[in-house]
Chain A
Amino acid sequence: MVLIQTVVTLLYYLLVAFVAALLVWNFARSRKWEEEVLYMIVLVPFLLRLFRLK
């Protein structure tokens, strides 16, 4: 159980980092200000978890 939790947690953080990178990538490519705002807002909770703040 604990071993599985540890492995899933590691995968989870990799997934969080991957999605955060995708959001930054899409933000950089976007030309619509609405999308850019959306990407930045969505990015914050991903970074907070990635940095183990919340």
Chain B
Amino acid sequence: MTMEDAEHGVTDGLRPGTGPGVASPARKVVLGILCLLLLVTSGVSFHRHRTMEEPVVLSAGVTEVKKLSDYFEGIRGTVNDCNVYVFEGEEPGATVFIIGGTHPEEPASRLAAWLLAENAVMEAGRLLVVLSANRSATTVTRLGGAYPPDYTIPTDWGERTFRMGDRWSSPLDQWPDPEVYIHYPSGQYLAYVDVRNLNRAWPGRPKGTLTERTTHGFMELIRQEGVDLFIDLHEAELQYPVISTIVTHETGQDLAAFTSMMLSDMEFKMGMEYSPPSLHGLSHREVGDHSDAVSLLFEAPEPFLDATRGRSTREVLLSGKDEFVVKAGEAGLLFEKMDEHGWPIDVRVGRHTSSILMTMEVWTELSPDRPLRMRGVPRYEEVIARGTGHWLHDPAAAPAGRVAVE
């Protein structure tokens, strides 16, 4: 091996095109066609995932569909200019803002918000709902994770397919990542990849990255709409200690504590935790610190996210059943129970809808002069009994002008 070979990484004394093999134009054509086929089939799949449209049949309670750019011009024309569904109440009251899809790899958060958009009617107070808080992250799955690109929920009239997403904004929309992510405005050092994590980018800034501009847009919405209560819907792996719980800013401690107790007594076990004051970038910390809104974050269990899971299939995503996670539970590695029944999507969605309803009820108890009352949205037991799909409506049968697209 010559010095020149070493510099070119050639270890067998041969450079491309100089080996003892036989040049074959026909072989190159065949290989080129195979490469093209691989490129086209994978490219079509990725393009379809990135551009797939998800219909939303608007509830009778939706009075207006706005865009995030209506509150912050800097997000207009970007992939993250998401829909904001507005529900004006029949009576005055407080304003609650609920977002799903902060982490679109946590489907129950988007589906619970979807049930609100398609079914909720506000009797008192105002409701604002976002289904795809980080829309960019709904257009990509975890790189190298072999995630399914979508999942399908059976309904009474057929089925509805949704995009599976990722925890982070797509690298196609925000790139490159820094060596270390320095959070604004705290200056706290965070993991590099979290520069694309919506729940590490609060409160954002107007001239920041796409993810920071998105959270800045939400902060503008919160300020301009005079939001009193903010709820961020999530799911968590069972090996993560913050699970089956409400994380609250200190301004929401009474509300979260009452809600946790009521849910645990009447429907399912639900914890409550304080937002750590020194952990920055998360909605439960920054929304409370930078606005007048009480900020809560709900976590439901999702075994699909556990590192010890087996195959990353649609079935595991929706059934929440995985024998490897069960094994991890037997080894005492989990912070939530896990058995052969798993954590089906209906259970996870039902936890979120009931948690929202109970929070509104407790809010109304604590602030009777600013009530929040909502009807049309199923509770935990109802979602489990009839399935999430029962509350997803047929876009083909919807009245004209009552279907939005995510």
The answer to whether A33 touches B46, judged by C-beta atoms less than 8 angstroms apart, is no
**Interface contact A33-B176, CB-CB below 8 Å:** no
Candidate in B20, B43, B140 with the most chain A CB atoms within 10 angstroms: B43
In angstroms, how far is the closest chain A Cβ from the Cβ of B197? 16
Please, which residue of chain A has its CB at the minimum distance from the CB of B172?
A52
Given contacts A1-B208, A1-B209, contact A9 B176 (CB under 8 A): yes
* 27 examples of A-B residue contacts, CB within 8 angstroms: A1-B208, A1-B209, A2-B207, A5-B176, A8-B175, A9-B176, A12-B175, A29-B17, A30-B16, A31-B18, A31-B20, A32-B19, A32-B21, A33-B21, A33-B24, A33-B27, A35-B16, A36-B28, A40-B31, A40-B32, A44-B35, A44-B42, A53-B43, A53-B50, A54-B42, A54-B43, A54-B143
Residue B180 lies at the interface, judged by CB distance under 8 Å to chain A: no
Interface size on B, residues (CB 8 A): 32
B273 CB to closest chain A CB (Å) equals 32
Find residues 300-334 in chain B having any chain A CB closer than 8 Å to their own CB. Answer: none
- Is B279 an interface residue when CB atoms closer than 8 A count as contact? no
* Interface residues of A, dominant DSSP: helix
The verdict on A37 contacting chain B, using a C-beta distance below 8 Å, is: yes
Do B46 and A48 have beta carbons less than 8 Å apart?
Answer: yes
Q: A27 and B28 in contact (CB under 8 A), knowing A5-B209, A9-B176, A40-B34?
A: yes
A-B pairs with the 6 shortest C-beta distances? A29-B17, A31-B21, A40-B35, A32-B21, A26-B16, A53-B46
Judge whether B23 is part of the interface by a CB distance below 8 angstroms: yes
Fill in one digit per residue for A1-14: 1 if any B CB lies within 8 Å of its CB, else 0.
Answer: 11001001100100
Interface residues of B (CB under 8 A from A): 14, 16-24, 27-28, 31-32, 34-35, 38-39, 42-43, 46-47, 50, 140, 143, 172, 174-176, 207-209
Least CB distance, A1 to chain B, in whole angstroms: 7
Do B31 and A37 have beta carbons less than 8 Å apart?
Answer: yes
Give the interface residue-count category, chain A. Answer: 20 to 34
CB-CB under 8 A from A37, the residues of chain B are: 31
- Complex CA gap A4/B262 in Å reads 50
B175 contacts across to A, CB distance below 8 A: 5, 8-9, 12
How many Å lie between the Cα of A44 and that of B140 in the bound state? 18
**What residues of B have a CB within 8 angstroms of the CB of A44 in the complex?**
35, 38-39, 42
CA distance A44 to B37 in the complex (A): 10
Contacts of A40 in B (CB 8 A): 31-32, 34-35
Of the residues A2, A28, A41, contact of B209 by C-beta under 8 Å: A2
For B140, list chain A residues within 8 Å (CB): 54
A44–B46 Cα gap in the complex (Å)? 13
Contact flag A31-B22 (CB < 8 Å), given A9-B175, A48-B39: yes
